[in-house]
Amino acid sequence: MPHRVLLLVFPEFQLLDATGPADVFAAVDEHLPVERRPAYRLEAISPQGGLVASSSGLSIETQPLPEPQEVTDSTLLVAGGYGVQRALQQGHVARWLMRAGSQATRCASVCTGAFLLAQSGLMTGRKMVTHWRYAELLQRLYPDVEVLHDSLFVHDGAIYSSAGVTAGMDLCLSLVEEDHGRDVSLQVAKGLVMYLRRPGGQRQFSAELLAQQAPADGVMQRLLTELRKSLATPWDVESMAACMSMSPRTLHRHCLAELGVTPARLLLHLRLECACQLLEAGQASLKRVAQSSGFGNEYNLRQAFSRALGATPGEYRQRFCR
């Protein structure tokens, strides 16, 4: 029997949040013997059923939400998108998830679909991720959830979550690997011109991308240059402000205005990215990685990786070393 995959959408959902995972699951049949096909049975579901318009204006045909007991032995995947805010206000999606999510074999979210999983109560005391732009908001709204800011995807028990948009496809490749093994997942990735495991792996928030949004002649570009030259320096907000010849309050204001993060968060991103690059290169010891990236010692490095990436530095190296 094919494994049932339920793609939960709502008005103004992000189209790729649903169709990207659907294409990953659908591609599996190309790499299985005839007697094992189809591997998955895909169904789009929505609160009302019928045609549901995505944020791009394209619509997909859906079935009404099934009864919670009918979700047993299924994978339930919740899309994100602009319509999440209205779905949160209405509350019926979260109420259905609260009853149906625990019945599913596994329950997952893509991008801002994480807010609906969190609202349902299924994520209380669990780790999850969402699009980097909304990670801090998710944490503020649902303090009982542990939000990992830099993970590409994560699973806690039978519940999975992924970061922005295309990260849902990365997550589904990992689910295919769980179901059918690495070789099949690799063939699907090749067919879709994807990485089986994206370089930089769990880092979906890039300090390089963050730096690019700062004005070329702005305060933050100068600060980024200074920090990158000496990450091993024991920086704090006061010393960063002194380096820029301004008060900590002024630096904080500039950092939020130009980059959307605090100076402390910016420094953490730079150090994490540096540590990830050193680990991916595979040559330096953990002690050297910790010192070069500014974490000082292996304990601080492990703590930072555990909080931000949901993995130890050793696990990260084992998975993503080139």
Domains in the chain with CATH codes: 3-191 (3.40.50.880), 207-320 (1.10.10.60)
The whole-angstrom separation of Cα 90 and Cα 131 is: 22
The whole-angstrom separation of Cα 201 and Cα 32 is: 27
Neighbours of 310 (CB within 10 A): 21
The number of CA neighbours under 13 Å toward the Cβ of 122 is: 32
153-177 CB burial, b ≥16 within 10 A, e <16: bbbbeebbbbbbbbbbbbbbbbbbb
pLDDT in tens, the chain (322 residues): 899 999 999 999 999 999 999 999 999 999 999 999 999 999 999 999 999 999 999 999 999 999 999 999 999 999 999 999 999 999 999 999 999 999 999 999 999 999 999 999 999 999 999 998 898 899 999 999 999 877 788 889 999 999 988 889 999 999 999 999 989 998 998 898 775 556 544 444 456 656 666 676 777 888 888 999 999 999 999 999 999 999 999 999 988 888 888 999 889 989 988 998 888 887 889 999 999 999 999 999 999 988 877 778 887 787 666 5
Sign, CA torsion 205/208/209/213: positive
214, two tokens = 């700062």
The helix-helix angle for 263-281 and 248-259 (nearest 10°) equals: 60
Helix (H, G, I), strand (E, B) or coil at 304: helix
* H helices present in the chain, as ranges: 15-26, 84-90, 92-100, 113-120, 135-141, 167-180, 182-191, 207-212, 219-229, 237-243, 248-259, 263-281, 286-293, 298-309, 313-320
Neighbours of 322 (CB within 10 A): 7
Length of the chain (residues): 322
Neighbours of 279 (CB within 10 A): 26
Alpha carbon of residue 110 to chain centroid: 8
55 burial via Cβ count (<10 Å: 0-12, 13-18, 19+):
middle
Picking from 178, 187, 152, the residue whose alpha carbon sits closest to that of residue 27 is 187
252, two tokens = 């904080």
Torsions phi, psi for 43 (to 5 deg): -135, 130
User: How are strands ordered across the β-sheet holding 40-46?
Assistant: 50-53, 59-64, 40-46, 3-8, 74-78, 106-110, 159-162, 153-156
- What pLDDT does residue 201 have? 46
The whole-angstrom separation of Cα 65 and Cα 115 is: 18
